[in-house]
Structure 1
């Protein structure tokens, strides 16, 4: 298991490195080469959300039934490599246009919802249940480290060799990830519990959604997941136009504006292993981390003045929220480990992806529309203000219900320790 977890780490880290090259290249292709407007940037960002909304819940039910998740992950990596490779060819031959970027976003949305539903199903093949949190923190740290390196290298690669070269790096990374999966020795097999054999897909889909509407804490948690996801999508849609057109950051240095986010992601992942010690409530950590990340987004629209100062301020607005987001992501997985049954993880993860994809698509389209109507900077301020208001209103109820659940957990633990049988 240790060897295979190491391979999984290498595969996921390599894939994350390549994905950053595509993430940096896409807005440059859209804005600089294709002249895309903020509204078109919103359509590109939203395209990835449509498949998640349509396929997400059935994909979650399917993930809980797939007997060989690793084989499916290999197929998904291969399909992603093919899609990015076709775009690289289209850009290099001057055949591609904005529609190609929208199609790639849709394809990546399909592959992402399937891979995301299988991610924790497969991870549970490699580690024991009580090691999920530390394993996730390690994987996440590797991904943020790769993202940091990718943001440093992507700009020079694009300037020196062009955007198709950056996309090609992503193609290679997907193939290396598939190779790492194929090299694992842990048996690739997940038994299907007999008690779920006669449940229909629709009932399983509904069960995934009900998790987020049952307990008061889970309803409050939904606000802290949905609102930051929508705001982040809108902010992400406008970040490219803001950096390239408002503060006039040269394209060669575009990737460097995101370097701090890699450092902050590494720091947040490392801190999560120290913060989420036994006895500490991961629910409270999740809520506080999401709230802090939302607050720190205000630094992005504040970026102004001389280019170096504006770039630093924008980098803080992009990077510091990632620190708290990394902490929140690991804490959220710890919450799921406590509150979700093992054979329901795929459905719950898929339901979460559908919810966040829906709100992210709305946020991306809203961000693009606000950017066209109000201007890029006023649109950023509007998104930040709406997000902060929603989080401030939901915060007290979320913390109260988290405390109630934590006290109930402690009571159950004390009963088990006294009565182990």
Structure 2
């Protein structure tokens, strides 16, 4: 009797090690944390330089504030088209950090030479903002090309935690540097952070796996990115949610300090501590998100977190009581909101990657950035103008109501699980038992959740 050799079944690929044990991801995380912390320092140092040394007028301060989000409006869409044409994204990321380093380093150098002026600071802000737009577009595609699909939630949560770490340590570091080294020299810390980030990125060894999209011209590439977002139900819902949140959140930020000091009577020293609570909550949120998404999935986490967005703003608008009560309440909701924001942002990024074809990732991310960042200036302006007309507390309550509208964007989108129709009962074959009802439900929804 002749024997036939049977090929043994292929063994499953070993699971990748946790990201915290992957050298290259640690380098990426560290580079982002250092770079963002340096940017937090400049948020205090540059305005102080303009006010204390250059006696900037209110109009000049307004221009300086608007210079930060302006590159997202001017170059955001084009940045996505450029990124989608690249085989490798890390060289562009390194170049962006080096250009930003040179721009930031020019501030203390110009001050020492007696050449520093408000227009100089405006040019620096525009250059750094432009490099940030290019970097964000490239970084989004870089993560998708280097991190396994099963670890994208953990990767996104870790990078969101960078912002939380920076928001906790950045303002305190900025205060110390300005106090001991003056505001212009404090900007040098931002330059050094960009340089350190570039060196860390240069040390990464992981090869990218990207296939550049064929270009049909800048305008057609940009239009294709816009159309892909606006015609895709899930991406359109995420875009609408992001624009709604940022508009009303920025309107709230515009009157936040005035409301805390003049209406609630919170000392200025405690306001910085309350802001830092959001960063602490963000760190806890990053830790929880990676665990909760493994059990419930990104869609459900997004559906739940969006409900909690208005709570901090609503709490602030309703507070009336002694100082200890106001501070305690704002501390609790600040911790909670910090975690909610990180969980929402992480799941939003993962779902965007999941729903976007590889050749459109840069343009889709750029379209999101263009809209979500561009609305910040409109929200801040609206918050200030309306507060002059109806008062601080009514504006804050209005912002809470506006942020609640985000729930409709998410809950009326395909992200909300639909109950599948029950099939008519049919007799099961005797040789194969019918699968469990839960198994049938998971199998029927898997294609929709993970295209």
For Structure 1 versus Structure 2, the TM-score category normalised by the shorter chain is 0.7 to 0.9
Distance 1:270 1:161 in 2: 36
Aligned to 2:7: none
- Structure 1, 7-16 or 18-27: larger mean CA deviation: 18-27
Compute the displacement of 1:335 (Å). 0.9
Contact 1:63 1:346 in 2 (8 A): yes
Query: Residues 127 and 392 from structure 1, CA distance in 2 versus in 1: closer, same or farther, beyond 3 angstroms?
Result: closer
Compute the displacement of 1:240 (Å). 4.7
Q: 1:16 aligns with which of 24, 36, 58?
A: 36
Compute the displacement of 1:376 (Å). 5.0
SS at match of 1:197: coil
Aligned to 1:261: 278
Compute the displacement of 1:64 (Å). 0.9
Q: What are the equivalent positions in structure 2 for 1:290-329 lying under 5 Å apart?
A: 290-301=306-317, 320-329=336-345
Aligned to 1:77: 97
Distance 1:88 1:307 in 2: 41
Q: 2:159 aligns with which of 117, 123, 139?
A: 139
Q: 2:230 aligns with which of 213, 223, 233?
A: 213
Distance 1:231 1:352 in 2: 17
Moved beyond 6 Å, runs of 4+: 30-33, 91-95, 244-253, 303-308, 405-409
Compute the displacement of 1:20 (Å). 1.8
Distance 1:64 1:82 in 2: 26
Aligned to 1:199: 216
Query: Residues 135 and 175 from structure 1, CA distance in 2 versus in 1: closer, same or farther, beyond 3 angstroms?
Result: same
SS at match of 1:276: helix
Contact 1:244 1:250 in 2 (8 A): yes
Compute the displacement of 1:150 (Å). 2.3
Q: What are the equivalent positions in structure 2 for 1:292-371 lying under 5 Å apart?
A: 292-301=308-317, 320-371=336-387
Compute the displacement of 1:289 (Å). 1.7
SS at match of 1:403: coil
Q: What are the equivalent positions in structure 2 for 1:17-56 lying under 5 Å apart?
A: 17-26=37-46, 43-56=63-76
Contact 2:88 2:208 in 1 (8 A): yes
Compute the displacement of 1:263 (Å). 0.4
SS at match of 1:178: helix
- Structure 1, 268-277 or 250-259: larger mean CA deviation: 250-259
How far does the alpha carbon of each residue in 1:153-186 deviate from its partner, in whole angstroms, 9 at most, with x for none? 3333333433334322222111100110112223
1:110 is the counterpart of 2:124? no
Distance 1:93 1:294 in 2: 48
- Structure 1, 374-383 or 117-126: larger mean CA deviation: 374-383
Aligned to 1:411: 444
In structure 1, list runs of 5 or more residues that go unmatched. 416-421
Contact 1:53 1:354 in 2 (8 A): yes
Contact 2:72 2:369 in 1 (8 A): yes
Distance 1:51 1:186 in 2: 30
Q: Which has the higher helix share?
A: 1
Query: Residues 410 and 165 from structure 1, CA distance in 2 versus in 1: closer, same or farther, beyond 3 angstroms?
Result: farther
Query: Residues 120 and 310 from structure 1, CA distance in 2 versus in 1: closer, same or farther, beyond 3 angstroms?
Result: same
Q: Say which structure, 1 or 2, has more relative contact order (CA 8 Å, 6+ apart).
A: 1
Distance 2:219 2:64 in 1: 30
